[in-house]
Amino acid sequence: MKCSYCGANIPDGELYCPECGTEVQIVPDYNPLEDVLAKQVKGSIDGSTRPLDLYSDETYQQALSDTQPQRRSQRRRDDTGRQPSARSRREAEDRRRQQIARKKTLAKKKKIRTLIILAMVFIALGIVSFVIYQTSYSALIRKGNTALGQNDYTTANDYFNRAVSKDKTNPDAYTGLANVFVDQDDLGSAESVFLDVITDQPDNAELYKACIKFYVKTKQTSKIPLLIDNCDEASVVDALKDYVCDIPEFSLEEGTYDDVQEVSLTGNAASIYYTTDGTDPTTSSTKYSEPIQLAEGETVVKAISVNDNKIPSMVVAKTYTIELPVADAPAVSPSTGQHNAGTEITITVPEDYTAYYTTDGTDPTSDSITYTGPVTMPDGQTVFKAVLINSKGKTTQVTTRTYITD
């Protein structure tokens, strides 16, 4: 039997629908239309010649109008024709609640099964993801760094090389390989790791940055400007602009001067360092703060700029030569001639010069007798020669005097 309200199946013996709780109609309602229909049929059987026309029969129409409200208002009754008792209703309600509880239990079990299946799916996906991750680039890098931290260089090298085979453009694996050599104090091989791959991938700015970080870490920042200067890729140079530092500018052109000079250094960098002994400057060299004084002779000034990132510029060098005029040959008195015994010989010595002399006719040098004051003229005939030599070793012409004493 089906429920007339919701259409659900109603088991035999049930007084209420298990789905919506509507009472079950056991005894069919009285329908006046049935009486009218029976009369019409009976009249036909008795030989009436009037055609069976229910729709024009006034009795039928009246019965139809009377039936509708009766069908809507008539209550369902049990098989005795009486309203169901309170006990029957409670029992039916209990059965309905039990059925609802069973459905909830079944729904809960279904939900639990669904959750278990979903959990198993997630666990399976997690296992698959874990397996995939273990062979991923990032996992190989992590394992390589772990082995490196344990000084297991062979294993670390293997992991990093496997990572390179997965992604040849990512700098992390090359940094790992370089660190394997750094930890073994082999900076040359570590540097080669970067330089070799940069040669193969000259347009990979990230590799350049990794190499620069390596130079900074190993305190080889002086190699950074040369690395960038050798790059022909404009896009890479632009990407490395934070590491580029302009060279300092010199106020004096290099060349030869006949007077003492000074040179100033300028630039837009944070600091400037220089040397005058021919060595390349570093951040440990003299920091520029005032003009550099150039003394007589040759001076090679080398300088670098250092930006805020502690990256130096290329080394720029200029050579200056200061050649001061050489003094004339020394003035020696008295002049050549015959003089009394005991006459004193004097030499005029300019500032920054030292006088040397001989009395045997040979040309004086810095190894000859140093003039410190008047010299007593020897007896007989003497050839006296004198020369001036400055602090830079420059020598004047020789002055010669010949003396004869009485």
Q: Coil, strand or helix: which one is 129?
A: helix
Domain assignment present for 36: no
What's the CATH number where 337 sits? Answer: 2.60.40
Domain final residue pick, 243, 263, 293? 243
What's the CATH number where 172 sits? Answer: 1.25.40.10
Based on the fold, state whether residues 214 and 291 are members of the same structural domain.
no
Domain assignment present for 234: yes
Based on the fold, state whether residues 230 and 154 are members of the same structural domain.
yes
Peptide bond connecting 84 to the previous residue in cis, omega within 30 degrees of 0 = no
Number of domains in the chain: 3
Average pLDDT of 200-222?
A: 95
Q: Output the CA–CA distances (angstroms, integers) from residue 70 to 29, 66, 73, 194, in the order listed.
A: 9, 7, 5, 99
Based on the fold, state whether residues 296 and 344 are members of the same structural domain.
no
Share of the chain above pLDDT 90, in %: 57
Tell me, what's the pLDDT at 72? 46
Residue 5 scores a pLDDT above 80: no
Domain final residue pick, 204, 227, 243? 243
**Higher per-residue pLDDT: 88 or 52:** 88
Based on the fold, state whether residues 354 and 307 are members of the same structural domain.
no
What is the C-alpha separation between 337 and 170, in angstroms, rounded?
93
Based on the fold, state whether residues 224 and 284 are members of the same structural domain.
no
Q: How far is CA 152 from the centre of its chain?
A: 27
Q: In what order do the strands lie in the sheet with 331-333?
A: 331-333, 344-348, 375-376
Based on the fold, state whether residues 198 and 286 are members of the same structural domain.
no
Domain assignment present for 44: no
pLDDT tens-digit map of 250-264: 999 999 998 889 999
Instruction: Report the chain's mean pLDDT, rounded to a whole number.
Output: 85
Based on the fold, state whether residues 379 and 394 are members of the same structural domain.
yes
| pTM of the complete model | 0.53
Based on the fold, state whether residues 162 and 195 are members of the same structural domain.
yes
Tell me, what's the pLDDT at 309? 85
Based on the fold, state whether residues 380 and 336 are members of the same structural domain.
yes
Based on the fold, state whether residues 148 and 176 are members of the same structural domain.
yes
Beta carbons of 60 and 54 less than 8 angstroms apart: yes
Based on the fold, state whether residues 162 and 235 are members of the same structural domain.
yes
- The parent domain of residue 309 ranges over 249-322
Tell me, what's the pLDDT at 215? 95
pLDDT tens-digit map of 134-192: 679 999 999 999 999 999 999 999 999 999 999 999 999 999 999 999 999 999 999 99
The DSSP element (H or E) to which 321 belongs, if any, is strand 316-322
Query: Burial letters for 240-261: b for 16+ Cβ neighbours within 10 Å, e otherwise?
Result: beebbbebbebebeeeeeeeeb
Domain final residue pick, 271, 297, 322? 322
